[in-house]
Amino acid sequence: MKPCVADILAALPQTQCTRCGYPDCAAYAQALHEGSADINQCPPGGAAGVERLATLTGRAAKPLNPENGLEGPRTVVFIDEAWCIGCTLCIKACPVDAIVGANKLMHTVMEPYCTGCELCLPVCPVDCIEVENVTGSATGWAAWSQQQAEEARQRYEFHTLNSQREALENDKRLEEKALLKLSDLAAHSQHTDPVVLDKKRAVIEAALARARAKREAAP
């Protein structure tokens, strides 16, 4: 019997590293279910992960695809606090909210929650993030547990929901500002030319229409 997406997702390590070529583990699981992805695209799961997916899907096991990366020990990142400028870019990039801090203040990695995805590395403008091997020679699922995977999945789901909520709140604030401006455009503009004001009104109304369409299309 063909496994459901949830069963496939549960067999993945939930690092959300995107090395499989998909935006997250759930998207990779969906692609595996549909047959559009292969079972050897998850370096964090390693050979043991491929075996898991082979057993689950009935496909033949095969070596990891080197284009997706190599199997290795689990890593965590650390921030060199002497160089951190508090830009918050790494905080935004972390899929499991394992980095804490605030704008223009020092950031810190909560090691137990770091999945080693390394998505924070390319966004750091001062290269103050270091990677450290924390499992020695243990790799793949030998360096990661099902409990850690489940915790990472829960943290990623919370991160995703929180990001969506913040985006909706920001969109709402922008829409309210646009509506306020539209209610008395002449008072909110330096222009008095009716033609210019009509053009501005059309632009704002079009933006509001796009915002409404986006909100209605959201799941």
The answer to which of 7-11, 12-16, 51-55, 200-204 has the lowest mean pLDDT is: 200-204
Instruction: Name residue 9's amino acid.
Output: L
Q: Which residues, including other chains, have CB under 8 Å from residue 2's CB and lie 6 or more apart?
A: 33, 57
* 206 and 150 both lie in a single domain: yes
Question: DSSP alpha helices (H): ranges in the chain?
Answer: 5-10, 25-34, 46-57, 89-93, 146-183, 194-217
Domain assignment present for 196: yes
The pLDDT assigned to 166 comes to: 78
Domain assignment present for 69: no
* 41 and 99 both lie in a single domain: no
- 164/129: higher pLDDT: 129
Can you say whether the dihedral through the CA atoms of 45, 51, 55, 57 is positive or negative?
positive
Domain assignment present for 139: no
Tens-place pLDDT, residues 54-107:
999 999 999 999 999 999 999 999 999 889 999 999 999 999 999 999 888 889
Q: How far is CA 45 from CA 64, 102, 117, 162, 211, in A?
A: 10, 33, 12, 27, 40
Domain assignment present for 128: yes
* 188 and 130 both lie in a single domain: no
Domain assignment present for 47: yes
Domain assignment present for 62: no
Please state the pTM of the whole predicted model: 0.78
The pLDDT assigned to 216 comes to: 65
Rounded to an integer, what distance in angstroms lies between the CA atom of residue 35 and that of residue 49?
17
Q: Which domain holds residue 30?
A: 5-57
Domain assignment present for 70: no
Residue 215 has pLDDT above 70, yes or no: no
Please state the domain count of the chain.
3
**Mean pLDDT value of segment 8-34:** 97
Domain assignment present for 65: no
Give the CATH number of the domain where residue 109 resides. Answer: 3.30.70.20
* 160 and 209 both lie in a single domain: yes
* 50 and 80 both lie in a single domain: no
Mean pLDDT of the chain: 89
Q: Which residues, including other chains, have CB under 8 Å from residue 32's CB and lie 6 or more apart?
A: 8, 39, 53, 57
